[in-house]
A and B are shown apart, each in its own frame.
Chain A
Amino acid sequence: MSIQEFLQHMANGTSLGSLYALIAIGYTLVYGILRLINFAHGEIFMLGAYIAYYGIIFTPLPWWLVFILASVLTGLVGLLLEKLAYKPLRSSPRITILISAIGASFLLQNLSILVFGGRPKAFPSPDILNGILNIRGVSVASISIIIPIVTIILLVILTFLIKKTKTGMAMRALSKDYEAASLMGIDINKVISFTFFIGSFLAAVGGIMWGVKYPQLVPHMGMMPGLKCFIAAVIGGIGNITGAVIGGFILGLGEIMLIAFLPTLTGYRDAFAFILLIVILLIKPTGLMGEKIAEKV
């Protein structure tokens, strides 16, 4: 393999990895606070892409404004989802909440088949994003470079939000000890809503960029990326944002490199994530960056 080809695969892997990272952060945030696998996160991702699609088709607004509005709107959908499907179950056993999350995911998927139709739609991505850059013989789609940049910008903002603001502090407190945080006067509902908003917002950004990169929308498009991003979050150590980013990159790069170096295994592309997950869980049950969980007796 020539060095150009290798760099090309690296660029592809990085952009896919940063997409995964973006979505994995949503899982990690929610899990850190509620100890809940938000199975419907992949469907939020799909909704983000669809809302952006309809925004571009039906409104005269410029594409960047549509993308931002669509992400905010999807964030609100995520907030609503939490209110309807998770809040009533907050004191129930975890299995019940997990089942509710799977149910919400199926409901959203079927609802979007009903509303958007089951036929694939072509995402009207703006021409600026679709150009192909040629840097010293390495041709890369410009979106492959834009995605990591957007991811890094959002990550910086998120880190600032969590480390420096009061809400961020409340989020950290809540993830450490739920009960104690509420005793200290933190408005738990507000913090949880905020977390869901942020997570869904990031998923929507991921969904829109996915739509630009792979311009085809179908109602079940969120399923596989959703699962893989959850795996990315687990590999990195769920509840840990740095871990989610690392996990996302490992998964994205690994997947692309697997196809690049072993083309005969292309059919097993989707299995790669699961095998990696199981191997890592067996070696380090809490993920690469995860904290050790003490056994309560």
Chain B
Amino acid sequence: MKDNKNTKYLIYIVVAIISMIILNLVLDSYKVRILNLCFIYIILGLSMNLINGFTGLFSLGHAGFMAIGAYTVAILTMAPEMKEMNYYMKPMVPFLQELNVPFIVALIAGGLLAALFGFLIGAPVLKLTDDYLAIATLGFSEIIRIVIINLQSVTNGALGLKGIPQKTNEIFANIIGTRSSINLLWAGIIAILTIAFMYLLMNGSYGKALKAIREDEIAARSMGINLFKHKVASFTIGSFFAGIGGGLLAVSLGTIDPTLFKFTLTWNILLIVVLGGMGNIAGSVVSAVVVTIAMEALRFLDESINLGFMQTPALPGLRMVVFSIILMTVIIFKKDNVLKSTLEKVRGRYAKN
């Protein structure tokens, strides 16, 4: 029985990778870009779901950790000449100027650095409860952003970084012979790894402890669960994946600046988590794809629309209004079912075993 399940998952993964390779060959670069973004948002959605959905810590600091990951990857992978062009206002710190490592090393470094910050921030802040925690983490992500703006000789400040190398896929590209600029495989494979990791984590005893903390902290504590240790671990792991997601985002966009990592970014990910259901892995994956594609698909609203008999003027901003209204409607009319139904589903799954 158990073996059967594992083979099933393996087949899923192989099918997913093969379809990614095929999609890479078939789709145009715009669509590849959007799919790439979908994968990145899957990683980000899952990492936030781990903190907010599974552990029940209401954290709003995701954009800050993503910024750490994104800047680390950008600084470590850019060629020295490119850095010189970017840092024209103030020269870069010489040590970082010469530093240049392969993409995968930079990505892991970004994740680890984000995790380190998550650990340092989490240790004091996680003593706070829901609303206070939300505002304190939001504060930390703003502080990270403000520090990035002010550390001109390291991060290039408000000017941002341009020309982050996108050719990160040479190995894959050589194997399958596709174009190497934007490629689904990096983000795709990391997304698969993240999904698998989350499944393993949540089905293990560690994940069950996290869920117990979400349900009732005091009961969990009296059952011998070390609240603080588990909370910090969950927060640190979540930050690690946020850093990885941020790094992938930086590579996918090719350019980053501090305004990208405002609260809006955290909000987008929070929406993915909420729409997919708090503490629901499959839900987060589906809603990440749906939200990312919907954000692109609704782009036509910003332009002038030809209704046949009349032409509406272009209304920049209409897209975000429509998007906000859709999301508000979903939140208000789904009410607490978002949480409740997923919870019941989780319980049902355990009952079967």
Complex CA gap A92/B327 in Å reads 17
Q: Are A278 and B125 in contact (CB under 8 A)?
A: yes
Q: Are A270 and B142 in contact (CB under 8 A)?
A: yes
B residues within 8 A CB of A271? 142-143, 146-147
A133 within 8 A of B: no
* Total B residues in contact with A, Cβ cutoff 8 Å: 45
Complex CA gap A167/B332 in Å reads 29
Q: Are A278 and B336 in contact (CB under 8 A)?
A: no
Complex CA gap A231/B136 in Å reads 9
B residues within 8 A CB of A281? 125, 128, 132, 136
Q: Are B130 and A94 in contact (CB under 8 A)?
A: yes
From B128, B149, B150, B332, residue with most partner A Cβ within 10 Å: B332
A249 within 8 A of B: no
B residues within 8 A CB of A98? 58, 131, 134
A72 within 8 A of B: no
Given A98-B134, A114-B315, A92–B142 Cβ distance below 8 Å?
no
* Total A residues in contact with B, Cβ cutoff 8 Å: 45
Min Cβ gap A150→B in Å is 28
- Choose one: A91, A274, A296; the contact of B143 (CB below 8 Å): A274
Given A92-B335, A274-B139, A268–B274 Cβ distance below 8 Å?
no
B318 within 8 A of A: yes
B140 within 8 A of A: yes
A residues within 8 A CB of B316? 113-114, 118
Q: Are A37 and B317 in contact (CB under 8 A)?
A: no
Complex CA gap A89/B336 in Å reads 8
Q: Are A113 and B135 in contact (CB under 8 A)?
A: no
Q: Are B132 and A106 in contact (CB under 8 A)?
A: no
- Choose one: B127, B138, B335; the contact of A96 (CB below 8 Å): B335
- Choose one: B128, B146, B321, B331; the contact of A100 (CB below 8 Å): B331
Min Cβ gap B37→A in Å is 20
Q: Which residue of A lies closest to B137 (CB)?
A: A278
Complex CA gap A227/B136 in Å reads 11
Min Cβ gap B350→A in Å is 21
- Choose one: A107, A118, A231; the contact of B328 (CB below 8 Å): A107
Q: Which residue of B lies closest to A297 (CB)?
A: B218
Given A37-B131, A231-B139, A114–B124 Cβ distance below 8 Å?
no
Q: Which of B289-318 contact A (CB under 8 A)?
A: 315-318
Q: Are B135 and A230 in contact (CB under 8 A)?
A: yes
A residues within 8 A CB of B127? 282, 285
From B139, B318, B328, B333, residue with most partner A Cβ within 10 Å: B139
A residues within 8 A CB of B134? 37, 98
- Choose one: A92, A110, A277; the contact of B321 (CB below 8 Å): A110
B residues within 8 A CB of A99? 270, 274, 331
A254-278: CB near B (< 8 Å → 1, else 0) gives 0000000000000110110111011
Given A99-B274, A100-B331, A113–B336 Cβ distance below 8 Å?
no
Q: Are A267 and B335 in contact (CB under 8 A)?
A: no
- Choose one: B131, B139, B324; the contact of A107 (CB below 8 Å): B324
Min Cβ gap B47→A in Å is 17
B177-201: CB near A (< 8 Å → 1, else 0) gives 0000000000000000000000000
Given A227-B138, A268-B146, A274-B140, A95–B58 Cβ distance below 8 Å?
yes
- Choose one: B136, B317, B335; the contact of A277 (CB below 8 Å): B136
Q: Which of A92-131 contact B (CB under 8 A)?
A: 92-96, 98-100, 102-104, 106-107, 110-111, 113-114, 118
Min Cβ gap B14→A in Å is 37
Q: Are B267 and A231 in contact (CB under 8 A)?
A: no
Q: Which residue of B lies closest to A103 (CB)?
A: B328
B residues within 8 A CB of A273? 139
Q: Are B317 and A278 in contact (CB under 8 A)?
A: no
Q: Are B124 and A282 in contact (CB under 8 A)?
A: yes
Complex CA gap A84/B328 in Å reads 10
B278 within 8 A of A: yes
Min Cβ gap B54→A in Å is 13
- Choose one: B128, B143, B267, B320; the contact of A275 (CB below 8 Å): B143
- Choose one: A91, A103, A295; the contact of B331 (CB below 8 Å): A103
B325 within 8 A of A: yes
Q: Are B143 and A88 in contact (CB under 8 A)?
A: no
B116-128: CB near A (< 8 Å → 1, else 0) gives 0000000011011
Q: Which of B262-290 contact A (CB under 8 A)?
A: 263-264, 267, 270, 274, 278
B159 within 8 A of A: no
Q: Are B267 and A278 in contact (CB under 8 A)?
A: no
B338 within 8 A of A: yes
B residues within 8 A CB of A277? 135-136, 139
B residues within 8 A CB of A35? 131
What 5 A-B pairs come out closest when comparing CB atoms?
Answer: A274-B139, A107-B324, A110-B320, A113-B317, A92-B336
A-B contact pairs, 26 of them (CB 8 A): A35-B131, A37-B131, A84-B332, A95-B130, A96-B331, A96-B335, A96-B336, A96-B339, A98-B131, A102-B267, A106-B264, A107-B324, A107-B325, A110-B317, A110-B321, A113-B316, A114-B321, A268-B146, A270-B146, A271-B143, A271-B146, A273-B139, A274-B142, A278-B124, A278-B139, A296-B218
Given contacts A106-B267, A296-B218, 16 further A-B contacts (CB under 8 A): A37-B135, A85-B328, A91-B336, A92-B336, A95-B278, A96-B274, A96-B335, A96-B339, A98-B58, A103-B327, A106-B264, A107-B328, A231-B135, A271-B143, A281-B125, A281-B136
